[in-house]
């Protein structure tokens, strides 16, 4: 008599654990001990951190051979919606797709005319950041309105929103939480609510960040996760982000069933039916609907109410994501601890670098301790990286610093696209379609981030020895060892 299914699966899982131990070792992709100092021991700015549990989850899902989004995906959507404190979450194939669908939802004919991104509709966003926060506005036929950024917080200058607003034209705001640092949610919410605008939170770099709304208004004193404040929010599960599915992303809807239906339809080929893949008759009248132009009783599974796409990930990716989600609290704590360790270790370099502050903080007074502004609001970042903002007239060349760190195996990055209006894709588009791109102000903050900003890693795979080497290398460069001009 052969072995049972359970016995076979147990043997497979044991082999996977053994494979993980031999090939991946510490969960850092098989790189072994990360020491820095050379090509074969690079300290990356970001990376995946995983155990044998993720491998086994992927293998079990693959053995089921459902493959397309199914039970694991539904489980992940429920769990992350519960974690964020939102009503709905829908998985997609990337964070970029998530932003594309969130903005695309505003084009739906099922929305009131005043909310739709049609007829010259505009959406406000930051000029500095990752391009796929802004590109969907143009891809959906809208006008992008760029406003400036505070280079210290890496977030929108709140006062620029009012200048950017045009009655009858502005439909919404989409903003990323820069470097995992929440933007001024209280101020942005007030701006949007007073004008009936949709708020989309790009939470791709900030999973686990929290914000407390002050000022005696709604939600005063409640520390809530970013991704739970906007009408829609987005996540990315690319390996550089807080948890990973390899590729993958998510659109969450705080409350509105109508918006959820639109997002789901756009993701799933544009169909009107809301049944999960492989399920029929959820509505109870699959052949009882009536639509103009279609025969009465036309199969609801083949009725299309939007010009949609297929942007679903696979079920085995979702299986990995569920395990990663269970690790999120320790990942968040590691990011915060690593950021504070770097901040303390580099404190003596304040004459050269202007260090970041959590939004609403006006001064750092100790490890993890801050003096706050008078708004009553607070922020608690789940940091994506550690920003080094070179002070003007410091004598330090950011490009040379980046080259120096790279040569010594320390991963570093610019603030993504910097000032997007200086990127060829956006500047060329603006020349060809001047009515579709509007710039508010001189964008000096975005220019400064592009010119003077560089960030290094805080991801959970970094060891204390890695952080010490990063601090020592930067300090040696600044103090004149290593070719500082």
Per-residue pLDDT tens over the stretch 79-106: 999 999 999 999 999 999 999 999 999 9
- On whether the CB atoms of residues 454 and 388 are closer than 8 A, the answer is yes
pLDDT above 70 (res 435): yes
pLDDT above 60 (res 368): yes
Q: Is 300 tagged catalytic?
A: no
Least confident range of 17-31, 52-66, 359-373, 427-441: 17-31
- On whether the CB atoms of residues 276 and 74 are closer than 8 A, the answer is yes
Which pLDDT score is estimated for 24? 87
- 278: in domain: no
**pLDDT level of residue 279 (50, 70, 90 thresholds):** confident
pTM above 0.75, yes or no: yes
- 283: in domain: no
Percentage of the chain beyond pLDDT 70 is 94
pLDDT tens per residue, range 208-263: 999 999 865 454 578 999 999 999 999 999 999 999 999 999 999 999 999 999 99
Percentage of the chain beyond pLDDT 90 is 86
Which pLDDT score is estimated for 315? 97
183: CATH: 3.40.640.10
- 476: in domain: yes
pLDDT tens per residue, range 402-418: 999 999 999 999 999 99
- 147: in domain: yes
Which pLDDT score is estimated for 28? 58
**pLDDT level of residue 277 (50, 70, 90 thresholds):** confident
CA dihedral sign of residues 435, 436, 441, 442: negative
pLDDT above 60 (res 479): yes
- What is the domain count for the chain? 1
- On whether the CB atoms of residues 163 and 367 are closer than 8 A, the answer is no
Residues contacting residue 189 through CB under 8 Å, at least 6 positions apart: 199, 213, 229
- 1: in domain: no
**pLDDT level of residue 35 (50, 70, 90 thresholds):** very low
Least confident range of 24-38, 98-112, 362-376: 24-38
- 244: in domain: yes
pLDDT above 50 (res 420): yes
pLDDT above 70 (res 400): yes
- 138: in domain: yes
- 427: in domain: yes
pLDDT above 50 (res 41): no
Residue 31 or 86, more confident: 86
Q: What is the 3-state secondary structure (H, E, C) of the chain?
A: CCCCHHHHHHHHHHHHHHHHHHHHCCCCCCCCCCCCCCHHHCECCCCCCCCHHHHHHHHHHHHHCCCECCHHHHHHHHHHHHHHCCCEEEEECEHHHHHHHHHHHHHCCCCCHHHCCCCCCEEEEECECCHHHHHHHHHCCCEEEEECEECCCCEECCHHHHHHCCCCCEEEEEEECHHHCCCCHHHHHHHHHHHCCEEEEECCCCCCCEEEECCCCCCECCEEECCCCCCEEEEECCCCCCCCCCCEEEEEECCCHHHHHHHHHHHECCECCCCCCCCCCCCCCCCCCCCCCCCCCCCHHHCECCCCCECCCEHHHHHHHHHHHHHHHHHHHHHHHHHHHHHHHCHHHCCCEEECCCCCEEEEEECCEEEECCCCCEEECCCCEEEEEECCCCCCCHHHHHHHHHHCCECEECCCCCEHHHCHHHHHHHHHCHHHEEECCCCHHHHHHHHHEEEEECCCCCCHHHHHHHHHHHHHHHCCCCCCC
**pLDDT level of residue 275 (50, 70, 90 thresholds):** confident
Which pLDDT score is estimated for 215? 63
Which pLDDT score is estimated for 1? 66
Average pLDDT, the chain: 93
Give CA separation, 323 vs 58, 102, 326, 378, 409, in Å.
10, 26, 5, 30, 30
pLDDT above 50 (res 34): no
**Can you read off the two tokens belonging to residue 223?**
């520390």
Domain that holds residue 443: 33-270+305-485
pLDDT above 60 (res 429): yes
* Catalytic, out of 52, 177, 241, 306: 241
**Can you read off the two tokens belonging to residue 362?**
């006006």
Q: How many other C-beta atoms lie within 10 A of the C-beta of residue 8?
A: 12
């Amino acid at each position: 008599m052969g072995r049972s299914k359970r016995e076979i699966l147990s043997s497979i899982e044991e082999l996977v654990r053994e494979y993980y131990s031999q090939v991946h070792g510490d969960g850092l992709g098989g790189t072994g001990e990360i020491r820095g100092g050379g090509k074969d021991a690079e300290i990356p700015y970001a990376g995946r951190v995983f155990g044998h549990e993720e491998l086994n989850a992927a293998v079990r899902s693959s053995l089921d051979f459902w493959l397309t989004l199914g039970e694991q995906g539904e489980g992940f959507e429920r769990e992350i919606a519960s974690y964020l404190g939102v009503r709905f979450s829908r998985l997609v194939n990337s964070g970029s797709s998530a932003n594309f669908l969130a903005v695309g939802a505003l084009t739906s004919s099922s929305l009131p005319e005043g909310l739709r991104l049609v007829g010259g509709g505009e959406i406000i966003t930051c000029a500095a950041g990752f391009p796929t926060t802004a590109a969907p506005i143009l891809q959906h036929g809208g006008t992008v309105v760029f406003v400036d950024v505070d280079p210290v917080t890496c977030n929108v200058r709140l006062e620029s929103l009012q200048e950017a607003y045009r009655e009858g034209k502005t439909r919404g705001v989409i903003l990323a939480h820069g470097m995992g640092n929440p933007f001024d949610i209280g101020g942005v919410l007030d701006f949007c609510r007073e004008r009936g605008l949709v708020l989309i939170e790009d939470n791709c770099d900030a999973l686990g960040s929290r914000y407390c709304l002050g000022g005696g208004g709604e939600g005063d004193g409640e520390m809530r996760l970013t991704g739970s404040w906007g009408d829609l929010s987005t996540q990315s599960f690319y390996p550089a982000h807080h948890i990973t599915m390899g590729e993958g992303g998510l659109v969450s809807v705080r409350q509105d069933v109508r918006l959820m239906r639109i997002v789901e339809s756009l993701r799933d080929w544009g169909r009107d039916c809301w049944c999960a893949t492989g399920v029929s008759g959820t509505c109870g009248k699959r052949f009882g609907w009536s639509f103009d132009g279609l025969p009465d009783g036309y199969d609801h599974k083949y009725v299309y109410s939007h010009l949609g796409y297929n942007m679903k990930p696979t079920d085995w990716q979702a299986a990995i994501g569920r395990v990663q989600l269970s690790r999120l609290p320790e990942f968040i704590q590691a990011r915060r601890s690593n950021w504070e360790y770097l901040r303390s270790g580099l404190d003596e370099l304040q004459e050269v670098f202007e260090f970041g502050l959590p939004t609403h903080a006006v001064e750092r007074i100790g490890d993890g301790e801050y003096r706050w502004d008078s708004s009553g609001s607070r922020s608690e970042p789940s940091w994506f990286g550690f920003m080094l903002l070179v002070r003007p007239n410091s004598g330090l060349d950011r490009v040379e610093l980046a080259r120096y760190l790279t040569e010594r195996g320390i991963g570093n990055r610019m603030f993504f696209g910097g000032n997007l209006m200086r990127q060829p894709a956006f500047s060329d588009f603006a020349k060809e379609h001047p009515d579709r791109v509007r710039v508010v102000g001189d964008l000096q903050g975005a220019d400064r981030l592009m010119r003077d900003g560089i960030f290094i890693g805080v991801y959970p795979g970094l060891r204390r020895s890695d952080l010490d080497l990063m601090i020592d290398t930067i300090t040696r460069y600044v103090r004149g060892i290593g070719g500082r001009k």
